[in-house]
Amino acid sequence: MLERIKSTVSFIQDKTNFHPEVGIILGTGLGGLVKEIKIEHSLDYDNIPDFPVSTVEGHHGRLIFGELGGKKIVAMQGRFHFYEGYPLEMVTFPVRILKFLGIKTLFVSNASGGVNPDYEIGDLMIQNDHINLIPNPLIGKHIPEFGARFPDMSEPYDKILIEKAKKITEKNNIKVQVGCYVATTGPTFETPKEYQYFRIVGGDTVGMSTVPEVIVARQMGIPCFAISIITDLGVPGKIVQVTHEEVQKVAAKAETKMTLIMKELISQL
């Protein structure tokens, strides 16, 4: 694994000669942030050695290098999921690549279902914690170069970045929630009782991504900031049939606000 990572990083560096300080992972329907990036290089995933390829609609599948908020960034326009059939070491392989490329901070976005009764469709939620119901991506042979065998997870999401983001939303009059994201394998949307269970155990939203990436990033000492767009509700009395297309549409409508928060937060690093 380590040699594959080094080989892939070498390939990317030869192609771009670019040294990013910030990494961004864009989730379902959230690729519009790319329009704000002053792009210098772009690499399709299927042209990068050993890189997985996104198979989900709404995930374009390319690495973008450029400038956002006055910082050198690398953005993943499209991520990978356990439900696509990839082993978790491949789901998180790009995060390790970003670390070896030199990033110091990771920003992650996703679309999720709200289980907190105070949430509404289209709300943004800054993640301050998570509950992982996907197998842990660190299971398996330990590679010391990646970090501790038993990483501390008492602060999965950076408190300083969260406070800065809240100030940005206040200044721009953007409604924002702060809460806990429950990560499931998918690909099914949840049953009413599953929604109820996730709320009982402490969740505010539920989704199928983000947490494996954050676990790997934290093992490698990368501070993380994650934000969800609430695209549907798993609240009694508000549960309706959900499709992936509807999730994409809601995410696209709310992504302007998410983009503003991300851009201003990156500029303050």
Q: What would the pLDDT profile of 87-141 be if each residue is shown by its tens digit?
A: 999 999 999 999 999 999 999 999 899 999 999 988 999 999 999 999 999 999 9
At residue 79, does pLDDT exceed 80?
Answer: yes
At residue 58, does pLDDT exceed 60?
Answer: no
Alpha carbon distances (Å) from 135 to 106, 120, 139, 185: 21, 29, 8, 8
Q: Domain 2-267: what homologous superfamily?
A: Nucleoside phosphorylase domain (3.40.50.1580)
Query: In this structure, are residues 57 and 179 in contact, taking their beta carbons and an 8 Å threshold?
Result: no
- What local confidence, expressed as pLDDT, does residue 248 receive? 73
Range in 27-31, 216-220, 223-227 the model is least confident about: 27-31
Looking at residues 195-209, what average pLDDT do you find? 97
Looking at residues 258-262, what average pLDDT do you find? 92
What does the alpha-carbon distance between residue 8 and residue 21 come to, in Å, rounded to a whole number?
18
| Residue carrying structure tokens 């992982």 | 132
Q: How far is CA 124 from the centre of its chain?
A: 14
Give the rounded percent of residues in the chain with a pLDDT score beyond 70.
94
pLDDT category at 56 given cuts 50, 70, 90 is low
**What kind and span of H or E run contains 240?**
none
DSSP summary character for residue 132: E
At residue 191, does pLDDT exceed 60?
Answer: yes
- What local confidence, expressed as pLDDT, does residue 240 receive? 66
